Structure 1
């Protein structure tokens, strides 16, 4: 599983080599942010703390802060408060090794996280929270008072002498009480010299209320109470829908975090059910029971029992996988049938599920280049809008229009221009997209990976473990005349049993299956790295290795074996021995060892081509082997016999041609190429080195997931572009219309509220990604 060092993304560590010990990551939960200008202000304040860098996310209402040693959490909270917002440090569960010392703290953390998940941490929460008036309540009261107000204001027959005083009585609670969250944020920001979206709302609605109250007191006729009340109601409705939708947007991550079991049944020495304890008390090395239909409590190795395990929430694969003794299982998955006794290998934050959740959350907290541009624009947008409203008011007066008309146009400009949609356009799409990716077994390290994946035009695939299964097997044996097959396999198996190489294990498995009995023991075993092995088997000096190794041993190689080695489209293991001590050895057999192509590889490569990508097979295997695999899966461009360093050179050569290159691999020898590529994609069954060097990790050990990751990234980028087009286009088109008096403040309020709702609902379409 990919490990993200504290305080930096995987990309940052790859690019700069920053040691994790130099900094730490802190997540702040921030209260009171309402638009992108709020985000820009908080980031600027945090950046003033020496050595601190921060990415503030409006959608998650949080900040991921990279903090150097020596900077206390209180300094970060103080910086956010100086910007006019409230903040608290998100509690982090202690390491498993310190469990006893922190049990009480862990309980408090769990209680806090449960409360936060249920109620949220912000004044605008949809759900009820003790001692706090909720957004829902304010919306209901505003709507109940605005309905009769709108009726009496618009229907002339219902108006009676002094009706304006009734309108004032109905409007004041809507604007002053129901709209208080907007005004409170405005006042808070004003104390720090800042102007945000709330500033525009307060200026617009309060101006309408105060103007109308003045006209009522002085006996005038043109009042705009319905503007102030209905606009406030529309804005509350938009905020209410937005908050509910944002909760849905984060549902994927919450569902991942809730997968784990809360209690676990320990196993006694005989494997029977023992005591049931909270999951926090489980230790690495302890054994626990999983009953049929139960959730596997944590990562571990099966010691007893067999079951079909459903890992669909982690991998996206709907077909359960059969497991038995010796198989590794992941916490949060479900044993659909059968009873298991499992030995825990990781607990708490070290589990695969916890790492996946942390990786997804880290990706959602990051920022794309598009979002940074939107934040910069929003940072100066509000002051510009206030200036435009003033110019609109002055322009109407200079044109000889009545004060009332100038006032209405200026209020419409203030209300229509709120940049809320601009701030939500990118982060909500990333929030939904990365969460959906995690549900489908695609872990994306951050927004930069999404942007890069959407732009690649060439994808380079490693062969072993990527296009092929990585499991070697012997599929044929060529014998020279007069040699006994059983004897050759017995010698080969005895020699290779001393090696851990995948080819050696394949030879041992084949020999054992063919012999049906225990292999003899090889004495004097010696491994010759990358070439072969030697030893004495049943009194004979023997060898097994490559054709070149056979020649190196001075062996006589019969024509049959030479032909097999020359024409083979797989790895050849030559087995030989001397007839008598002191004589030169003779090659007796050639075992053809191959790696099987994954069942889904041809379809996955076809899917990559449908995405318009050029596909290249890059491997260290021999030319014949590589081309045979290429033909089987439909890859024409094959580069074989390449060292790990050579893979990097090939990646850079493609980049020098102007190609935007993605690399898919799984082994240690792929990690340098994964880091060198524009986009690194690590297979789920691969090594930690490959995963740490990648931008995307495929939990599902399938090449088809690589095509899915590119398709998902393009879909997310498409949603972001649509959101930004709407957000920018809406403001560009609407502000001139409002300034010209073609939009009433009520229509402007409804349109502004709908713009934010549209962006969130458009992003939620990503939840349907398959």
Structure 2
């Protein structure tokens, strides 16, 4: 028994894994080592986390064990991820080159084998062309199968190697010794084209896996990129630049205009507006004054301030987001896991049946018992080739992904299509998902006591907002520019902290900003405007006031408009029995107003990124299959945690990277379409797998010679090869039917 205090934990990148079965093999090999208490392979992140006793075993032993079954570990813990990414890129390029070469050689083999088999030396030409396909470009199938066999394991590579290898060797024998069969009244067929085509198809499948794998860390990279590399620290001797990694809790730091905030802390000097959309999802920057909290990765917009570091390194909110995204991404298994598990059982059963058929013929056969038994064994292996089984899932997925793309639904991987139809709870972010995500002016009400011609006042209002640093000022400026208002030449502009802005025009002072401006000046708001303001605030609109020193001149309402299709999409989801929730970082009043407008009864306001992820976990604990739809960095944790994650195409790059589905148009009405596409695709996959297995259940016994005692029928290996090809064609054809199904 290992003592807990002696246990160390290490996380190492893995090379060479292509399926969930590979992950199981690596995990079992590491676990079997003396001194290893626990080993967990994370297939999504291609890493293994090992708890071990360093006095009993060291990392080189882990690498040795993993290498023995055809994989590898990177022991460099500092630069391991970079080395893994480089290796994956290199493998991808090498695989592409092998596929190109294999295709060039396979095409003439197929032409010769299917149409020109009777020309002189056809068999020798196919032998020359197929040898490099199997033993140079397809060598990995044979080496991996051998390494698996050494440890009494089997996977897809085992069946590919056996079926293609035996078909090849059988064909070689028939090429050089055709007389052996002629003397027995049989024609010596060759199966070079079947062996080559199988290798090519399986390699194409692996290429798709490698491409998906190479993109798994892009979201994490972008999140890490939010943190600046260096920061200005304030010391007794002045300001100096240091790396972020050297910042300590309590350090005093300076953030200038446009810079990213390096760590979490509290402002003690200066004021500014900070874009916290990565946390709150809200497009309006937040004013920061002394005593306010700031967070790593958020962006200082205008002005500079000083703050004290309170959380650094792995304790910052950004680091916690990164960790949660990594953990959530790694907790999922791809759809191909089912096929790999089936193959693990299927392979030994097929081998046993092929050997049993040979044994049965030798024991109970007649005059040509061994010959017919050998033919039966080869026929079983040829007809049981995993082509249809291997194509069942990827062809349906490829067609489903293409169908989605035609409808503006970009689907990243099989998992999204596998899980979509099961979703029974959907969480929606508010800003940028239900709403447009851009503050716009919806109403402007002028004081009825003013003269009709307000062009001069509009020009002054525009001039004030043009010089304002407040995020909402941009919406007002845009509104006036659209109606072609020209800015007035105001003087003595000043920013009034926490209130708004002021300037002089023709000797008179004008102001624009919050309610505090006119309450400080003890100006009464006219009743007609007061009623309007109450109505606007009930609709969760932000109100900006324009005034002079004696009266309120106008009120402007600014809001984030609800998208046209949001209400209809939410209604469609609810009609399918899906529970719809809204989570937002915005205030309760705004959340309630938006929820009411789109027909959502379940909502939560003022939530942080971790709260969204925790809410997803809570629903999952209630056995819900959760879909998360968002567009911001603040949604990335919840997107990664959810069973199905959908990002808006106009949202942040990180949300799009983390999500499994992206809606190009950012229209929520695409969500019901995506769920329907998932249902149709899964139905197609199940049909494909059903026919692939039915084909094997019927074909394998016939290939073994089960009908021979009754009617003398023995399946020819050439017909078995054609049947194998036909099963693949049927699977592909069934998948293509998905193209013409209505959404």
**Fold shared by both chains (TM-score > 0.5):** yes
> Which residue in the other structure is 2:110 paired with?
139
Unmatched runs of 5 consecutive residues or more in structure 1: 1-21, 57-63, 69-73, 87-105, 128-133, 150-168, 257-364, 581-585
> Which residue in the other structure is 2:652 paired with?
687
C-alpha distance 28-592 of structure 1, shift in aligned 2 (>3 A): same
Instruction: Determine the C-alpha separation between the residues in 2 that align with 1:591 and 1:756.
Output: 65
Matching of residues 117-196 of structure 1 within 5 Å: 120-122=97-99, 125-127=102-104, 134-143=105-114, 146-147=117-118, 178=130, 181-182=133-134, 189-190=145-146, 193=150, 196=158
SS at match of 1:505: helix
Matching of residues 422-437 of structure 1 within 5 Å: 422-430=389-397
Contact 2:627/2:642 (8 A) holds in 1: yes
Q: Does 1:750 align with 2:722?
A: yes
- The C-alpha deviation readout for 1:289-322, integer Å capped at 9, x for no partner, is xxxxxxxxxxxxxxxxxxxxxxxxxxxxxxxxxx
Contact 1:36/1:419 (8 A) holds in 2: no
Instruction: Determine the C-alpha separation between the residues in 2 that align with 1:730 and 1:219.
Output: 31
SS at match of 1:125: helix
Alpha-carbon deviation of 1:643? 0.9
C-alpha distance 508-521 of structure 1, shift in aligned 2 (>3 A): farther
C-alpha distance 464-490 of structure 1, shift in aligned 2 (>3 A): farther
Instruction: Determine the C-alpha separation between the residues in 1 that align with 2:447 and 2:129.
Output: 95
Contact 1:145/1:171 (8 A) holds in 2: no
> Which residue in the other structure is 1:384 paired with?
349
SS at match of 1:390: helix
SS at match of 1:644: coil
Q: Does 1:561 align with 2:529?
A: yes
SS at match of 1:426: helix
Alpha-carbon deviation of 1:138? 2.8
Q: Does 1:525 align with 2:490?
A: no
Q: Which moved more, 1:46-55 or 1:437-446?
A: 46-55
C-alpha distance 699-507 of structure 1, shift in aligned 2 (>3 A): same
Contact 2:198/2:387 (8 A) holds in 1: no
Of the candidates 551, 561, 579, which is equivalent to residue 596 of structure 1? Answer: 561
Alpha-carbon deviation of 1:702? 3.9
C-alpha distance 551-391 of structure 1, shift in aligned 2 (>3 A): farther
Alpha-carbon deviation of 1:571? 1.0
Matching of residues 348-363 of structure 1 within 5 Å: none
Of the candidates 578, 590, 600, which is equivalent to residue 637 of structure 1? Answer: 600
- The C-alpha deviation readout for 1:428-452, integer Å capped at 9, x for no partner, is 5545655776676655554444434
Of the candidates 437, 445, 452, which is equivalent to residue 478 of structure 1? Answer: 445
Contact 1:208/1:224 (8 A) holds in 2: no
RMSD between aligned residues: 6.1
SS at match of 1:516: coil
Unmatched runs of 5 consecutive residues or more in structure 2: 1-9, 50-59, 73-85, 216-329, 708-712
- The C-alpha deviation readout for 1:585-639, integer Å capped at 9, x for no partner, is x65543222333435546655665687645445556678866776677xx32245
SS at match of 1:682: strand
Of the candidates 404, 425, 439, which is equivalent to residue 458 of structure 1? Answer: 425
Instruction: Determine the C-alpha separation between the residues in 1 that align with 2:642 and 2:489.
Output: 46
Instruction: Determine the C-alpha separation between the residues in 1 that align with 2:698 and 2:46.
Output: 37
Q: Does 1:734 align with 2:711?
A: no
C-alpha distance 763-399 of structure 1, shift in aligned 2 (>3 A): same
Q: Does 1:414 align with 2:381?
A: yes
> Which residue in the other structure is 1:660 paired with?
625
> Which residue in the other structure is 2:335 paired with?
370
C-alpha distance 758-116 of structure 1, shift in aligned 2 (>3 A): farther
Aligned length, in residue pairs: 577
> Which residue in the other structure is 1:575 paired with?
545
C-alpha distance 526-669 of structure 1, shift in aligned 2 (>3 A): farther
Q: Does 1:508 align with 2:477?
A: yes
> Which residue in the other structure is 1:223 paired with?
186
C-alpha distance 579-369 of structure 1, shift in aligned 2 (>3 A): closer
TM-score, length-scaled by structure 2: 0.59
Contact 2:636/2:654 (8 A) holds in 1: yes
- The C-alpha deviation readout for 1:334-386, integer Å capped at 9, x for no partner, is xxxxxxxxxxxxxxxxxxxxxxxxxxxxxxx9994431232233245333322
Q: Which moved more, 1:603-612 or 1:412-421?
A: 603-612
Contact 2:439/2:559 (8 A) holds in 1: yes
Contact 2:500/2:512 (8 A) holds in 1: yes
C-alpha distance 466-409 of structure 1, shift in aligned 2 (>3 A): same
Instruction: Determine the C-alpha separation between the residues in 2 that align with 1:687 and 1:372.
Output: 31
Q: Does 1:721 align with 2:689?
A: no
> Which residue in the other structure is 1:12 paired with?
none
Instruction: Determine the C-alpha separation between the residues in 1 that align with 2:560 and 2:722.
Output: 62
TM-score, length-scaled by structure 1: 0.57
Instruction: Determine the C-alpha separation between the residues in 1 that align with 2:391 and 2:62.
Output: 24
Alpha-carbon deviation of 1:573? 1.2
Instruction: Determine the C-alpha separation between the residues in 2 that align with 1:677 and 1:552.
Output: 49
Contact 1:458/1:615 (8 A) holds in 2: yes
C-alpha distance 478-730 of structure 1, shift in aligned 2 (>3 A): same
Instruction: Determine the C-alpha separation between the residues in 2 that align with 1:380 and 1:447.
Output: 23
Contact 2:335/2:415 (8 A) holds in 1: no
SS at match of 1:685: coil
> Which residue in the other structure is 1:200 paired with?
163
C-alpha distance 660-738 of structure 1, shift in aligned 2 (>3 A): same
C-alpha distance 172-578 of structure 1, shift in aligned 2 (>3 A): closer
> Which residue in the other structure is 2:238 paired with?
none
Instruction: Determine the C-alpha separation between the residues in 2 that align with 1:146 and 1:736.
Output: 28
Instruction: Determine the C-alpha separation between the residues in 1 that align with 2:117 and 2:22.
Output: 29
Instruction: Determine the C-alpha separation between the residues in 2 that align with 1:44 and 1:657.
Output: 32
C-alpha distance 706-524 of structure 1, shift in aligned 2 (>3 A): same
Matching of residues 329-340 of structure 1 within 5 Å: none
C-alpha distance 722-212 of structure 1, shift in aligned 2 (>3 A): same
